Chains A and B, each alone.
Chain A
Amino acid sequence: SQQGEEDPQALSIQEGENATMNCSYKTSINNLQWYRQNSGRGLVHLILIRSNEREKHSGRLRVTLDTSKKSSSLLITASRAADTASYFCATGNFNKFYFGSGTKLNVKP
């Protein structure tokens, strides 16, 4: 299975701190995507990183990809209470994606 696995499963931090989540996957990929899900709702696409990229930034988000270790990390800087959500990495192609189990982030105000 290509399914990614996030680490840690849960993370609790104070507002203003940075949050780092890791994702490991099993097979070769074309790209890896990160999504956010607020409790019981749909997923929101955050960022996509291609297999030939090592790092990508989008606002307060920074994603790294290490294809030799089959891992990726998502860093959220200067976290806010509104960042409280579950975060998933997804691998796959076209529209058949495999999602990891997710990291539940709680940002305390």
Chain B
Amino acid sequence: KAGVTQTPRYLIKTRGQQVTLSCSPISGHRSVSWYQQTPGQGLQFLFEYFSETQRNKGNFPGRFSGRQFSNSRSEMNVSTLELGDSALYLCASSTAGLAGVSSYNEQFFGPGTRLTVL
């Protein structure tokens, strides 16, 4: 099976712009989570989608949003970019939430999108 893919891999934007990142989960996985990783704050949970619905949300401002499509692909959007949004954005997929699947599940991470805000 192909792994989790994220596009683009690198992105440079300026303050005030908006950005959309894309994540394609492993085939058959319907849960997609997003994380932000920065040197100062480490890995922080943004949100999780399952069957096109946001199930969990972290403590990020409303400028961070996401969505999931019927094919489980997910996008996250950041509007009005700030310098502090520069980070590695990681997407992870899993089978969590599928009937008969334990909540003790492994997340498979993509390579990430490196966003630089100038």
**Which residues of A are at the interface with B, using a C-beta cutoff of 8 A?**
30-31, 33, 35, 40-45, 48, 50, 88, 92-102
Contacts and interface: CB of A to CB of B under 8 A. Distances in A.
A100 B44 CA distance: 9
Nearest to B112: A42
24 contacts: A35-B109, A40-B112, A42-B4, A42-B109, A42-B112, A43-B90, A44-B109, A45-B106, A45-B108, A50-B104, A93-B103, A94-B55, A94-B96, A94-B97, A94-B105, A95-B48, A95-B50, A95-B94, A95-B105, A95-B107, A97-B33, A97-B107, A99-B44, A102-B43
B33 A96 contact: yes
A102 to B, nearest CB: 7
Contact of B33 (A40, A50, A95): A95
B112 A45 contact: no
B106 to A, nearest CB: 5
A95 B92 CA distance: 9
B104 A30 contact: yes
Given A40-B114, A42-B4, A42-B90, A99 B107 contact: no
A100 to B, nearest CB: 7
A35 B97 CA distance: 21
Given A30-B103, A31-B104, A96 B109 contact: no
B110 interface: yes
Contacts of A92: 45
Residue from A45, A88, A92, A95 whose CB has the most chain B CB atoms within 10 Å? A95
Contacts of B106: 33, 45, 48
Contact of B45 (A33, A35, A98): A98
